[in-house]
Amino acid sequence: MAKKARLSDRQKRRAARIAREKGPTCPDCGSSEPVPEGEARAHPGGSANIAMRCLTCESASEVTLVLSPEEAKALGLGHALRAPEAP
């Protein structure tokens, strides 16, 4: 099950930088600079998704940025999203 977390402004800026490196594009206008919406969905394995939205065309389509566990950790999502169950 995925867990949601709000992104701080700093995390949003980092997410935007990762997005530029990965280059997700808007499915509607092709813009390569969608911006993070401010919410991350984390998965038990440590990876995370961040919902992005295109400001160029204000498309209703959501672009999802997929983060590896390392990237999610670098973004500071690690501790907030640790799986609740203990071994």
Chain positions contacting Zn ion, by CB under 5 A: 26, 28-29, 31, 54, 56-57, 59
Q: Rounded to the nearest whole angstrom, what is the least distance from the CB of residue 68 to Zn ion in the complex?
A: 25
Q: Rounded to the nearest whole angstrom, what is the least distance from the CB of residue 34 to Zn ion in the complex?
A: 7
Nearer to Zn ion, 31 or 49 (CB): 31
Closest by alpha carbon to 78, among 47, 57, 36, 38? 47
Q: Rounded to the nearest whole angstrom, what is the least distance from the CB of residue 85 to Zn ion in the complex?
A: 39
Backbone φ and ψ of 37, nearest 5°: -80, -15
Nearer to Zn ion, 49 or 56 (CB): 56
E-state strands within the chain:
3-6, 35-42, 48-53, 62-67
Nearer to Zn ion, 7 or 54 (CB): 54
Q: Is the dihedral of CA 32, 44, 38, 74 positive or negative?
A: negative
